[in-house]
Amino acid sequence: MLQVYVNGKYYDKDKAVVSVFDHGLLYGDGVFEGMRSYNGKVFRLEDHIKRLYESARSVWIDIPMTQEEMCKATNDTLALNQIQNGYIRLVVTRGSGTLGLDPRKCSNPSVIIITDSIALYPDELYQNGLEMVTAATIRTSPAMLSPRVKSLNYLNNIMAKIEGIQAGCDEALLLNQNGEVAECTGDNIFIVKDGVLMTPPLVAGILGGITRQTVIELAKKAGIEVQETAFTRHDIYSADECFLTGSAAELIPVVKLDMRPIGTGKPGDVTWKLIKLFKELVNG
């Protein structure tokens, strides 16, 4: 049976539990990471662990182990479950406390590592591209809670996801408080216009995606001009290509926004090229 790491011990998946007094449950008070493994190796593990610790630090959670120990625990959990091509969910909560917000009443952060498989989108969407709609829900402003913190409170994203689902779409686009394009509910966004690859900058109020960073690096290496620059829906409506990036989703083409075809309405050449380069990279 699948073994789940909870605070240094392994449990059968149906016995892996945390307290109902855990502030991760009571208040969404915690942080997490979603990672992928390819051929038994976690993709960009150190980058994910670094982001986890930065998220934790930002919300004043002191993770009771070093980054090296966290990397080792992740690799050990993956190896124990003999997972080659899988998904790893790392969760750190504030820990068990009392009713009431006070984080000082929480004993120790809970550290959970789950390894399993994930399939966010059906294969067909990777071939033909997905359709999305702009959500009325705007992305949490950095002045409220920085979107760079990958926190356990995903209601902002889930509200937008519901809007996408209600509209019959696979994803929803979130704008920031200035009406600029931010990101999607669990993915970063890229567009291609006249051969130039564009993605919103971190200051647009987005999660600093590790797949996003990987794609920027791959594109630059391939001689594609990359601009991290603020843009609006106008730029997507008039773009040649569009795609999303995320650890779970990898790269996935987008062919419609708000019922309007993007470019030719089919995944474009630059998108296919980057998908190919990404596959080559992760498969070593």
Supply the residues annotated as catalytic. 150
User: Would you count residue 55 as binding ligand PXG (CB under 6 A)?
Assistant: no
Taking CB under 6 A as the binding criterion, the range among 2-10, 16-24, 67-75, 208-216 that sits at the site for ligand PXG is: 208-216
Minimal distance, residue 157 CB to ligand PXG, in Å: 6
Binding string, 187-206, against ligand PXG, x = CB under 6 A?
xx------------------
Beta-sheet strands, E only, within the chain: 3-6, 9-12, 30-38, 41-42, 86-93, 110-116, 130-134, 171-175, 181-184, 188-193, 196-199, 226-228, 241-246, 250-257, 260-261
**In the complex, minimum distance from the CB of residue 113 to ligand PXG, in angstroms, rounded to a whole number:** 14
| Residue 210 binds ligand PXG (CB under 6 A) | yes
Query: H/E element holding 279?
Result: helix 269-282
Binding-site string for ligand PXG from residue 98 to residue 137, where x marks contact by CB under 6 A and - marks none: ----------------------x-----------------
Asked whether position 34 contacts ligand PXG by CB under 6 A, the answer is yes
CB of 184 to ligand PXG, least distance (A): 7
Query: For residue 263, how far is the Cα from the chain centroid?
Result: 26
Q: How far apart are CA 189 and CA 43, in angstroms?
A: 20
| Cβ burial 213-230 (10 Å sphere, 16+ → b, else e) | ebbbebbeeeebebeeeb
| Closest CB 37 distance from ligand PXG, rounded Å | 13
Looking at 176, 199, 247, 271, which residue binds ligand PXG (CB under 6 A)?
A: 247
Q: Residue 241: beta bridge partners?
A: 192
Please report, as ranges, the residues that interact with ligand PXG according to CB under 6 A: 34, 120, 157, 183, 186-188, 207, 209-212, 245-248
